[in-house]
Chain A
Amino acid sequence: SQQGEEDPQALSIQEGENATMNCSYKTSINNLQWYRQNSGRGLVHLILIRSNEREKHSGRLRVTLDTSKKSSSLLITASRAADTASYFCATANQAGTALIFGKGTTLSVSS
């Protein structure tokens, strides 16, 4: 069953611009995670934000979490061509046994 849904499905920007991706989820969470996937590769964990946190930073990444709206956003500042990838949000299933992923946002950064 789908837990997270990313928006937009696709995003095209120029190098140096900021990229914002949004994620909505349905049930209560302990944390929400963001992953990155380069084409044809496995996913790589980017950042985890706990349910009692509202904002978290890691390098050029900024993640916000609004549990009242059941939504999160991932901001990539000063994007680079190397940021071109698909980005997924993920939360635990109700049993807490595995992560459920959204369909992802495909980001294209052109130089």
Chain B
Amino acid sequence: SQTIHQWPATLVQPVGSPLSLECTVEGTSNPNLYWYRQAAGRGLQLLFYSVGIGQISSEVPQNLSASRPQDRQFILSSKKLLLSDSGFYLCAWSVSLMDSLNEKLFFGSGTQLSVL
């Protein structure tokens, strides 16, 4: 069966420090991978998605970047964190793109990032 791992679960970082969040998927090949951010009490904002190694699409211009160095690994990074980067970061995967009739997302357990 497929599983998705996301770490760390919580992170407290000072403003201006770098960030690296990692997500890996097991039990499937060539998944589509996604990073979402959820501000406190709000909905999910799509940040990045990837359909393959080295292929990253950015949805929102911001202080973050994403990379996919391996088929089942998705990394969210920042060189210098801002206060506004605080939030709950969720990684997700799907078998194929969302324009198919039955495609759905499988989410990791999330990382709560607090930038102080």
A40 cross-chain contacts in B, Cβ below 8 A: 88, 110, 112
For B108, what are the chain A residues with a Cβ–Cβ distance below 8 Å?
42
Q: Is B74 an interface residue (CB 8 A)?
A: no
A contact residues around B43 at 8 Å (CB)? 2, 88, 101-104
Contacts of A97 in B (CB 8 A): 49, 51, 57, 97-99
Least CB distance from B57 to A in Å reads 7
Contacts A92-B98, A92-B99 given: A98-B110 contact, CB under 8 Å?
Answer: no
Q: Which residue of B lies closest to A45 (CB)?
A: B104
Residues of B within 8 A of A99 (CB): 46, 98, 105
Q: Is the CB of B104 within 8 A of A43?
A: no
Q: Identify which of residues 43-81 in chain B touch chain A, using a CB-to-CB cut-off of 8 Å.
A: 43-44, 46, 49, 51, 57, 59
For B44, what are the chain A residues with a Cβ–Cβ distance below 8 Å?
43, 88, 101
Which interface class (under 10, 10 to 19, 20 to 34, 35 or more) fits B? 20 to 34
Asked if A98 contacts B107 (CB within 8 A), the reply is no
The minimal Cβ–Cβ distance linking B109 to chain A, given in whole angstroms, is 5
Contacting pair B46 A98 (CB below 8 A): yes
Q: Using Cβ atoms and an 8 Å threshold, which residues of chain A touch B112?
A: 40
Interface flag for B102 (CB, 8 Å): yes
Contact with A along B1-33 (1 / 0, CB 8 A): 000001000000000000000000000000000
Smallest CB gap from A96: residue in B: B99
Q: Is the CB of A96 within 8 A of B98?
A: yes
Nearest to A91 among chain B residues (CB) is B98
CA A35 to CA B104, docked complex, whole Å = 10
Give A42 to B36 CA distance when docked, in angstroms.
11
| Per-position binary interface string of chain B over residues 78-116, scored 1 when its CB falls under 8 Å from any chain A CB and 0 otherwise | 000000000010101000011111101111111010000
**24 sample A-B contacts, Cβ–Cβ < 8 Å, listed by A number:** A2-B43, A30-B100, A30-B101, A31-B102, A42-B92, A42-B108, A42-B110, A43-B92, A44-B107, A48-B102, A48-B104, A50-B101, A88-B43, A92-B98, A96-B99, A98-B98, A99-B46, A99-B105, A100-B46, A101-B36, A101-B44, A102-B43, A103-B42, A104-B43
